[in-house]
Structure 1
Amino acid sequence: MINIPTLRTKRLTVQMKELSIMDAIALASIPPDMNEEATSFFLRATVGEVSGVVDVSQWTVQERTLATCHYMASTFDDGPNFALMNGECHYSDYLMGDQDYLGDQIDIGEIEGDKWVVRQLTGELSCAIERLRGEIAGFSNHAHWQFGLMAAQLVPNGDAGEGLTAGALDEFLLARMKVIASYPESVFTLLLARYQAALSELEHLLRLSFDGHGILVMPNKQEEGAAMRPARFPVSTCVTSLAKELGGKSEDAGT
């Protein structure tokens, strides 16, 4: 059994445990394009004792990714500063260890008669965005994530949709995505600019971005002449080839 050191942040003290073979097989069966759902499953399977925010669905995406990387750093053969992209980058190129959680939300003022705040992105919200892909006709994958993230994090007039079941949350976010998509371009542009400015004030642990495939992690700095690229830390890399084989996944066959 692998011993995983305690993870400590401003909001969390977490003791993680090694994946069981049963959970590893189940994790291997989750489609690769469901990374947020896979991360939730992985955390539920590996997180033991928690002090602070107990519900992993209410952890921020940064906290979820940090816990995933903490597990990787404890279990990968190349150690705590494990390599990415065939050794071009390392975990330390992305971690912002001195920048922890600063607050729940940022006030961005009034736009078109509504008072807006930008809140942190939680696992619950990121999973909902992932589930809603394809629900709005004509949206590219990139547009889906842009509008999904805005619908999840932008809160008008205190209407945050808290305490909803997964299905109700999906409906809530989809309706808000459609509302934002209906704004005149000038209003949308102003809202987007204020949203993006607020994100920099909410940054902690890791710098997030996104593309058409979902959430990305950006380098913590750009060294002169360095070719630092956005990264993902998929939980599928924590699953052994044995578990994938037992789960009916053949890496050689690409299934």
Structure 2
Amino acid sequence: MIHFPLLRTRRLTVQLRELSIAESVAIASMPTHLEEASCTAFLRAAVASAQGIDDPAAWTVQERMLAVAHYLAATAEDGPDFALGEGHYSDYLDGAADIQTQAPQIEVGEVGGDTWHIRHLTGAMAESIERMTGEVQDASGKPLSGRLHWILGAMAAQMVRSDESVPDADMAEGAFDEFMVARMKIMGAFPESDFSALMALYFAGREKLHHLFKTEFSKDGIVAMPKGGAAANLPPARFPVHTCLSRMARELVGKPDESGL
């Protein structure tokens, strides 16, 4: 039995537990391209108790990264400051920067006569963006993919006009996915100058919401950037949940050679 220290943040107090072999096999069996869905399944199994916000799908993507990394810190062979490619966990975790506000959203500026706000990117939102890959097309009819899809999806999920009513991401998956696709199409049809201005507001607003990890988007999804200083030149890192699973569990479902962090 592995002991996990209590994980505390400004919003959460979480006690993790070791997965059973049945739970590990079930998560290892999930499609490898559905990393956010796998993360939710893993955390729902690994969280023994949570105070503040119960469902890991409602945690921010940074809080989810922290919980996965906390599990790895207790289980990795190289110890709590485990290796992440050329760097280590401590090169990416900004432990001094926790969520600064409980406000659901903050104002970021005006575009096209509308005042816009930004809200945190949650696990449920990220899962929807992941599921909707290929559902939005460009002007030539080619499906959007990669980093562009993730940026557009995040803007659709996080950017909200003043007095605009938007659904919660924890509503029925199909309904929120429909909302996301429609919103991504609308934003994708903005005049280029308006979209450019909105994207600038998005990135500036994201900086204001920074906590725990500096996140960015790659062609495969959400990554953590090095926190700076001596680590500034390190590449982006991910915390895929399959690295929390034993080799035995992965071998049992035919995935023994999946890469690490």
Under a length normalisation based on structure 2, what TM-score does the superposition of the two structures give?
0.92
1:186-205 alignment to 2 at 5 Å?
186-205=193-212
Distance 1:59 1:84 in 2: 23
| SS in structure 2 of the partner of residue 68 of structure 1 | helix
Does the alignment pair 1:246 with 2:252?
yes
**Aligned-pair CA distance for 1:110:** 2.6
Would you say 1:3 and 2:25 are equivalent positions?
Answer: no
8 Å contact kept, 2:226–2:233: no
Q: Which amino acid aligns with 1:106?
A: I
**Aligned positions of 1:53-92 closer than 5 A:** 53-85=53-85, 88-92=86-90
Question: 1:39-74, CA deviations, whole angstroms, 9 ceiling, x for partnerless residues?
Answer: 000000100111111121110000000000000001
Residue equivalent to 2:153: 148
How far off is 1:243 after superposition?
0.7
Shift of 1:198: 0.6
Deviation >2 Å, runs of 4+: 157-160, 247-252
Q: Give the SS at the match of 2:215.
A: strand
Provide closer, same or farther for how the CA distance between residues 116 and 47 of structure 1 changes in structure 2, counting only shifts above 3 A.
same
Three-state SS of the structure 1 residue aligned to 2:224 is: strand
Percent identical pairs in the alignment equals: 47
Ranges in structure 2 where 5+ consecutive residues have no aligned partner? none
SS state at 1:223 partner: helix
CA contact under 8 A between 1:105 and 1:202: conserved in structure 2? no
Query: Aligned to 1:115, what secondary structure does the other structure show?
Result: strand
Give the C-alpha shift of residue 142 in structure 1: 1.9
Q: Secondary structure at the match of 1:236?
A: helix
Q: 1:208 aligns with which of 208, 215, 218?
A: 215
Shift of 1:147: 0.5
Deviations 1:143-181 (A, max 9, x none): 111100110110123322125311100000111100000
Tell me whether 1:24 sits opposite 2:24 in the alignment.
yes
Per-residue displacement from partner, 1:81-107 (whole Å, max 9, x unpaired)? 00111xx20000000001001123220
Which whole-Å CA distance do the structure 2 matches of 1:77 and 1:107 have between them? 44
Matched, 1:229 2:227: no
Measure, in 2, the Cα distance between the counterparts of 1:54 and 1:174: 27
2:34–2:130 contact (8 Å) kept in structure 1: yes
Measured in 1, the distance between the counterparts of 2:24 and 2:55 equals: 21
Structure 2 residue corresponding to 1:179, chosen from 186, 189, 202: 186
Residue-by-residue CA offset, 1:97-147 (whole Å, 9 max, x unaligned): 010011232202332132210000000100000000010132232211110
The Cα shift of 1:250 comes to 4.1
| DSSP-derived class of the 1:205 partner | coil
Q: CA deviation at 1:16?
A: 0.3
Whichever residue aligns with residue 252 of structure 2, its letter is: L
Tell me, what secondary structure is at the counterpart of 2:217?
strand
Secondary structure of the residue aligned to 2:230 is: coil
Q: Which shifted more, 92-101 or 135-144? A: 135-144
Distance 1:141 1:114 in 2: 29
Unmatched segments (≥5 aa) in structure 1: none
Contact 1:222–1:228 (CA<8 Å) still a contact in 2?
A: no
Separation (CA, whole Å) in 2 of partners of 1:134 and 1:177: 12
2:108 is paired with a residue of what secondary structure?
Answer: strand
Match of 2:97 in 1: 99
Backbone CA RMSD of aligned residues: 1.4
TM-score of the pair, normalised by structure 1:
0.94
| Matching of residue 117 in structure 1 with residue 117 in structure 2 | yes
Contact 2:24–2:245 (Cα < 8 Å) also in 1? yes
String of CA shifts for 1:11-63, please: whole Å, max 9, x gaps.
00000000110011011111221110110000001001111111211100000
